[in-house]
Structure 1
Amino acid sequence: MTDDEKIRKGQGSRLRTVRMAAGYPSARSAALDAGWPESTYRAHEGGTRTIDPRDAERYIKHFLRQGAKGGNFTGRWIIYGDDDELSEASLDDLVRGESPAFKKKAIDAILALKKR
């Protein structure tokens, strides 16, 4: 399994966790209820398509409104996972899908740390 596949599978697994916490028995039921394209949502949850930050935020907002409880659910968590998962990620993994301005700030911060 490639690194990209691992990232997508992790994102999908976290998305599934939130969906189930919101009480949806299937990806299909969540997509239909929220009005999302079912094929896109299923691909995100199945780990065959990378979730972009806007989609992650949209999913989280919906699931929290539906009562998802039991975790620290955020769009960032869906994309990146927990801190221990982040420590094993590459810089490319951490900035994938972010804006050019965000990427520049991340690089500037790293260069500042290296100067210490």
Structure 2
Amino acid sequence: MHNAHHHVKSKRIPKVCFLHGMEYDDRPDAAKRLEQARIARGFATAKDAARFHGWVYETYIQHEQGTRGIPRAAAKYAKAYKVSEGWLLTGEGTAPEKVPLMTKIRGKAGAGPEGSVLFATGDGYLGEVPAPEGATENTSALEVEGDSMRGLANDGWLIFYDEKEAPRPEHMGEPCVCFLEDDRVLVKTPYPGSQPGLYHLESVNAPMMLDVPVRHFAFVTDIKPRRSAQKHIRRNPNAEIQDVRLDGRRA
């Protein structure tokens, strides 16, 4: 019995019962509700939430894991997650409703030369907005800046697009986010060029760009006008934007 007084501190994480093959969670109820509130507000991971709100991740994750109590931080978390402090601490009151899938705003369209897209640096996104109908976790958004895209999307509108992919015939004649070989990113409508690998890129208010080499296209799937777009944007306070391409090289 030499181990009778040997203590092991529990990390209070979900464990597996090997006898029955069932998972159980021995965290305090307040820690479970904190995780529930975070997920309901659209943050997939604790790190996403801590980064967005400017919290110390190491402290926050201990609160979710239940290794530290949350009474002192409950008011802060309740305000951020739009739940009552009482519910968070005791479970009394109404549990949070799950918010819609959120789409990250990756950059600004029309902000660079020739109406090019400038992507966010730092955390990699400018903010989040509820995803449009039919969106997936791979859907992204661009916020239009200026009037270079007027006729397709005006200043302050949001353009949603799918994951980028290699050029294929289905992209032709459809508004797309176009990832050019010279690292520029433009929102244009592509058409076949004079030879394979080259494309004519049409704009609503500028001359057509002829025989442009393009690496990838991404379908534009939805566009939201300024009034509905700006009302629901949740800004990333740590975001920066520079004329940097997706692969990290400066223009």
Q: Is the 8 A contact 2:86 2:92 kept in 1?
A: no
Give, in whole Å, the separation in 2 of the partners of 1:50 and 1:42.
11
* Partner in structure 1 of residue 86 of structure 2: 76
Q: Is the 8 A contact 1:13 1:45 kept in 2?
A: yes
Q: Which amino acid aligns with 1:59?
A: Y
* Counterpart among 61, 64, 79 of residue 61 in structure 1: 79
Q: Greater share of helix residues, 1 or 2?
A: 1
Residues 1:24 and 2:43 are matched in the alignment: yes
CA distance in 2, matches of 1:61, 1:8: 22
Q: Once the two structures are superposed, what CA deviation does each residue of 1:34-80 show, in whole Å capped at 9, x if it has no partner?
A: 0011011101111111111x41111111122xxxxxxxx31111111
Q: Which has the higher strand share?
A: 2
1:36 and 2:36 matched: no
For 2:27 and 2:78, the matched residues in 1 are separated by 17
The answer to whether the Cα contact below 8 Å between 1:16 and 1:45 also exists between their aligned partners in 2 is yes
Alignment pair present for 1:50 and 2:69:
yes
Q: How far, CA to CA, are the matches of 1:81 and 1:62 in structure 2?
A: 17
- Structure 1 distance, partners of 2:66, 2:91, is 14
Q: Detail structure 1 runs of 4+ shifted over 2 Å in the superposition.
A: 5-8
Give the aligned partner of residue 101 of structure 2.
none
TM-score, length of structure 2 as denominator length: 0.26
Q: Which runs of 5+ in 2 are unaligned?
A: 1-11, 13-24, 94-251
Give the number of equivalent residue pairs.
70
- RMSD between aligned residues: 2.3
Query: Deviation of residue 82 (structure 1)?
Result: 3.1
CA contact (8 A) 1:60 1:74 kept: yes
**Deviation sequence 1:87-107 (CA, Å, 0-9, x none):** xxxxxxxxxxxxxxxxxxxxx
Q: What letter is aligned with 1:46?
A: Q
Structure 1: runs of 5+ lacking an equivalent: 65-72, 84-116
The Cα of 1:23 is off from its aligned counterpart by 0.1
Look at both structures and tell me which one has the larger radius of gyration over its CA atoms. 2
**Mapped contact 2:78–2:84 kept (Cα < 8 A):** yes
Distance 1:55 1:17 in 2: 16
One-letter code aligned to 2:77: Y
Does residue 28 of structure 2 align to residue 9 of structure 1? Answer: yes
